[in-house]
Structure 1
Amino acid sequence: MALAREVNRRNDFTLVVTTSPRAYYATSRVFRGLENIHVGLGLHPEVAEAKAAELDALVAGIKGARFVGEVGLDGSPRFRKSLELQERIFRAVLGECRQQGGRIISIHSRGAAQRTIEALATARDVGVPVLHWFSGGVTELRTASRLGCWFSVGPAMLVGEKGRSLLSHMPVDHVLPETDGPFTTERGVALKPWDAWEVCSTLSEIWAMPREAVEKQLQNNLRRLLSSQP
């Protein structure tokens, strides 16, 4: 709880995504009263097989959840065998988000960018899809942008040339900072939520903007994202 209180003090807004409905309710209890920390209701595609029995709870919970995440698809070799199940879960989530007037949704799409975008295009009007650590191609990125998707980028994503190249094609007003912590590390130390702002130096270089302007842009993006939620 000491770390949570520190996050609440240092960050005006932090979204904590969850891997399952049970994790969502447990995490929400832990962070209750910390007004700057928000929890997303999720069912991570990596655990689709293990958590499929929680699908009904996931869909039912969307009505009372302000944020949904992490959800989506993972077509990497380790999880490809469960793609059909993942897609059934993901489409159920998107359908309920649309039914409830839209939600801000943190979306995983590793190894399945095209399939993820197709699901979003079919569902339509699901709210605000935010593609977390997008790793598809530029053509897919542009299609996602036309669909109104946002993109969250973190320090680890921008270490490699591909991530930096993808960033250069993202609309500046649809980018948000993230860490993907505690699963990402820097010099062996897990990234903390406030480390999301480390992306500003790279964004400043790629966008050819002063760091102060980048920080202001990201803050404005976040305010606009939150105000756009139904």
Structure 2
Amino acid sequence: GVTARFLSARNFPSIRRVVRTPKRWERIVEIAADLDYKLPQLPDSKALEEFLVKQKAADPLRFPDLSLAVIKLLGAGEYVAELPDGNVPGHFGLAVKDYGHSTAPNRRYPDLLTQRLLKAALEGKPVPYGKEELDALAAHCTKAEDVANKVERQVEKSAAALLLETRIGEKFDSIVTGASEKGTWVRLLSVPVEGKVVQGFEGLDVGDRVRVQLSSVDVEKGFIDFRKIR
């Protein structure tokens, strides 16, 4: 937030990291209620932060599962160009209005853009990018990040399928990490593996705990399929 506010104070644009208000806030409220915690009916990032802090202290062993479910429901982040007098959404997950990436220019292009903006501001030089150019760069960075994440996930899925190749028929405790028209996914609690529920997925939602049995794997495609047993 410091970098973003610094640039804004000097009438410079910036690249913000945005996580918008979650569309499935009601599900987060339900998960909290299952843990005897009442969240407000309308999205409230501060209230969510307080809930997570309290749950981490109360049940540190299960907190990673809760955190994963909430992260999935919050949705992905994106890069957005912000003018000094603009009003782009903040980072809901961090409960902050002004947030950007700037500390890793060696591996994230948005950080490099921010470093260039900072350098120009500190040296009293003109803004090196126009608004339209920054908009295009922000959109490109978001798209490139999505592509890189997909490749990373594919490699991880193939590695996980290879790990479980000899364990067909075994049963595992899991937590639902995704539920939509495209399918229902679970993450195992004993090993960091995620797969699709192909049988018995009706009625499952993100955050539910479910017992599953490994049905099949395809190492090349990275497919890991489970069926719900209870």
TM-score above 0.5, yes or no: no
Structure with higher RCO (Cα < 8 A, 6+ apart): 2
Structure richer in helix, relative to its length = 1
TM-score (norm 2): 0.28
Answer with 1 or 2: which has the greater Rg: 2
Name the one with the larger strand percent: 2
Normalised by the length of structure 1, the TM-score is 0.28
